[in-house]
Amino acid sequence: MEPLKRWRLPWLTLSLILVTIAAYLWQARQLGGYGPFGEDQLMSLGSNIAILTLTGEYGRLLSNLFLHASLAHLGQNMLALLLIGVTLESLLARWQWLLLYLLGGVFASLASAAVHVDQQQVSFFGQVTQVIFVSVGASGAIMSLAGAELAIALSVKLRGTGEAGDSLLRNALLVPLLALVYGLIDQGTDNAAHLGGFLFGLLATLPLCLGTSLPARLGIAVGALLALALGTFNLLNPVFDNPRVDELRQMALHEVQETRRIDTLKAHIEAERQAPRTWVDGEQAQGFAIDLPVVARIVPSSDPSRVYLLKNDADMQIIEYDLTTQQPLRTLLTQPYARGQLWGCPGPECVGVGVTDMALDEPAGKAYVLGLSKGAVSRIDLASGAIEYSVPVSDEPARFPSRVLLHEGRLYVMDRADNSLTILEAASGKRLERLQLPAAGYENTYIPTGETLLLSSQGDALYLLPSSSQPMRLDLDSQQLSEIGEDGAQQMGRDAQGRIWLLYEDGVLYPQEQGQRERVPFHLPAAGMPGWMALIDPDGHSPLILHLSEGFILASSAQTGQVLRAYPLNVPPSDIFALQYLAGGRFYLSTRQGLQIFDVDQALDGREVAAEYQQLLEESTAWQLRLERQPLEQPANDW
């Protein structure tokens, strides 16, 4: 190479500065501000996380060069890049300059990761804390250019070029000396990256600067490569011999996952707050009333506007109702009913009397109804309402069939009195099999609300939520029962995407996709307020959890827990029998006074109506803990 070249427009240096500034703007947009950024924020991007970089995530060696911790950090590095890059771009071919920058930056990242892979801090009291080392910035790559500039300056000086050589040498020493002083003052400086980049640039440039013949240059190049290879081996050998590599990697992955979880949660909370909505007044938000008390269940038909109401009061009735016109179409069936306490008649001999569920077979014009007589399933003709047969679900004296499902000519009936599942032939009512669910029965006379039977989307299994509240799955081929989720589920359903969901007092679980639910604080338990709740998810993307507060039904986000919508509650909570989702973006409230049908989109502004409630919720320990990093659960010691 020539000792010195004339100055030329440093477009490569300027381009790289612009690219790095653009990367910072992207970073600021991703992290919601212009910094300074903490290590936990930078983890979610491409920062150099030592243990992850060295165990497979090699892209971090390069990506971290374009990330910075603050505007000041970016400014310092870009100023240094301008000072060194402009000079060096006039001394080297541009492809040599770019290779030095990128490869030097990668080597600097590698050196930093190797040095800090298993770093610990010891407090004044002797407590040892494992450090997950995170590094970002272009300084390692810039120091590679500084090393190259020093190599060239020494070469020029040795060749005796006078004042030009002295000036170049002074400039070449400026940035390394400043980096050394700054590294001694600031404990957060990544000195390993600075030194690694500097040595790489120095050694990589020596073959270009020393020696006048090709053999001499090749010899120097081989020596430099051997030095870099030996240095790399010495850096990495202790890492791969470290018995704690897997443990450290799990710790780092957990920290990254926690960072992304918190960032995603905060983004969801903000997006929900900023989402445009159209609110209605109180009269529109309260929906419409149907003057039918004690409706146990609303059974949808193939027509979303047409439903069947199962009423139990002075008598048992099945009423076909049009939700669009808000008018009854006909009373399909009326049966005498012994009115007494909340459900059925006063004594236990009446447990199991009262319509609780109905399965429709519309192509055949039939319906299968539970509870028209004690503990029985009955088939009725949809055209005439005539009862074609009525058979007891079992021979046990205590029977309370609560849910029925029709599939491929078979009836599956769940009994809450003895917690069993009975399979019958739909055509004749003949009992085929009885499966005992692994939990105690629930013999009381209240309306079944949470109990559920659902067919899987593939049609190969049943999902059950019995009165014991332990969700289960029945394989229809093998007849094998298995538990899913955890005990304590309040409701089960299916969203618009066909996914099964389970609603708990602290969140929602999708058992086909998740092994463990994320706990979402969405309600504040209040004395005297029943814990009615339901989940509604018309589009399969924005699930809402309905629950009660003083004077309102609140709809909280199942993803974040914050209150989004509200609906007037005009009855005493003690008069409520059921709060249930209804197809077509509706839900209903069954009370002693009658039935209330709500449209989920016709709502009051929940954040305005329930501002005090939301504030108390956000002050709760459960809410605040969810926004904090959770420790990695360590396996228990086997003593």
- Same domain, residue pair 150 and 282: no
User: Mind listing the pLDDT tens digit for each residue in 97-108?
Assistant: 998 899 899 989
Which tokens belong to 479? Answer: 């007849």
Q: What is the arrangement of strands in the sheet containing 376-381, beginning at the earlier edge strand?
A: 357-361, 366-370, 376-381, 387-392
CATH code at 190? 1.20.1540.10
> Does the pLDDT of residue 306 top 80, yes or no?
yes
Length of the chain: 639
Q: What is the pLDDT of residue 96?
A: 85
3-state helix, strand, coil in the chain (%, to 5): 35, 25, 40
- Same domain, residue pair 21 and 116: yes
- Same domain, residue pair 208 and 107: yes
User: Mind listing the pLDDT tens digit for each residue in 167-204?
Assistant: 666 777 777 777 777 766 766 788 888 888 988 888 88
- Same domain, residue pair 277 and 222: no
Residue 314 included in any domain: no
Q: How far is CA 115 from CA 7, 225, 240, 440, in A?
A: 39, 21, 12, 59
| 321 DSSP β-pair partners | 307, 328
Asked whether the beta carbons of 393 and 399 are under 8 A apart, the reply is yes
pLDDT higher for 440 or 118? 118
Residue 6 included in any domain: no
In percent, the amount of the chain with pLDDT more than 90 equals 27
Q: What is the arrangement of strands in the sheet containing 604-605, beginning at the earlier edge strand?
A: 533-536, 544-549, 552-557, 563-568, 604-605
> Does the pLDDT of residue 212 top 80, yes or no?
no
- Dist. CA 18–CA 316, nearest whole Å: 77
CA nearest to 85, candidates 10, 35, 177: 10
Residue 67 included in any domain: yes
> Does the pLDDT of residue 411 top 90, yes or no?
yes
Which tokens belong to 541? Answer: 């993307």
Confidence category of residue 311, pLDDT binned at 50, 70, 90: confident
Q: How many CA atoms lie within 13 A of 361 on its CB side?
A: 19
- Dist. CA 447–CA 444, nearest whole Å: 9
Residue 554 included in any domain: yes
Cis peptide before 36 (omega within 30 of 0): yes
User: Mind listing the pLDDT tens digit for each residue in 528-562?
Assistant: 555 688 888 877 788 899 988 888 999 999 889 99
- Same domain, residue pair 75 and 139: yes
Q: What is the pLDDT of residue 347?
A: 44
Please state the rounded mean pLDDT for residues 153-169: 66
Which tokens belong to 82? Answer: 């301008």
CA nearest to 466, candidates 427, 523, 420: 420
- Same domain, residue pair 176 and 127: yes
pLDDT higher for 347 or 579? 579
User: Mind listing the pLDDT tens digit for each residue in 45-93?
Assistant: 889 988 888 888 889 999 999 999 999 999 989 998 998 888 888 888 8
Chain mean pLDDT for the chain: 82
- Same domain, residue pair 139 and 277: no
- Same domain, residue pair 157 and 282: no
Write the DSSP symbol of residue 240. H
Residue 427 included in any domain: no
> Does the pLDDT of residue 564 top 70, yes or no?
yes
Type of residue numbered 369: V
- Same domain, residue pair 184 and 282: no
Q: How far is CA 527 from CA 507, 524, 550, in A?
A: 21, 10, 11
Which tokens belong to 110? Answer: 């590698």
Task: State the pTM of this model.
Answer: 0.76
Which tokens belong to 16? Answer: 């790289």
- Same domain, residue pair 127 and 276: no
- Same domain, residue pair 71 and 206: yes
Residue 370 included in any domain: no
- Same domain, residue pair 149 and 282: no
- The domain total for the chain is 2
Residue 551 included in any domain: yes
Residue 417 included in any domain: no
- In which domain, by residue range, is 568 found? 271-287+520-629
